[in-house]
């Protein structure tokens, strides 16, 4: 089952390309590529492994 996340801006986050990642700290922080709203880590890690076919 594919992981998805509905951002507050309305974007359906389905693929790694829909996320930005910040690796500046000790852990990665994921955000929506359109609005920059943080995405929960557990969901983002699953989505981060999904690529459009």
Residue 49 vs residues 9, 14, 21: alpha-carbon distances, Å: 22, 10, 13
Angle at 12 between CA 8 and CA 15, to 5 degrees: 130
Range of the domain at 12: 5-47
- Rounded CA-CA distance 11/36 in Å is 11
Q: Residue 53: pLDDT band by 50, 70, 90 thresholds?
A: low
In the prediction, which pLDDT does 48 show? Answer: 85
Other beta carbons less than 10 A from residue 30's beta carbon: 22
53 lies in some domain:
no
pLDDT tens profile 1-32: 578 999 999 999 999 999 999 988 888 899 99
pLDDT tens profile 30-39: 999 999 999 9
Number of domains in the chain: 1
52 lies in some domain:
no
33 lies in some domain:
yes
10 lies in some domain:
yes
| pTM over the 0.85 mark | no
27 lies in some domain:
yes
Name the phi and psi angles at 47, rounded to 5. Answer: -65, -35
């Amino acid at each position: 089952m594919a992981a998805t996340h509905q951002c507050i801006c309305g974007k359906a986050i389905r693929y790694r390309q829909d996320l930005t990642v910040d690796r500046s700290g000790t852990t990665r922080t994921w955000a929506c590529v359109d609005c920059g709203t943080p995405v929960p880590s557990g969901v983002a890690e699953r989505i981060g492994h999904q690529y459009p076919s």
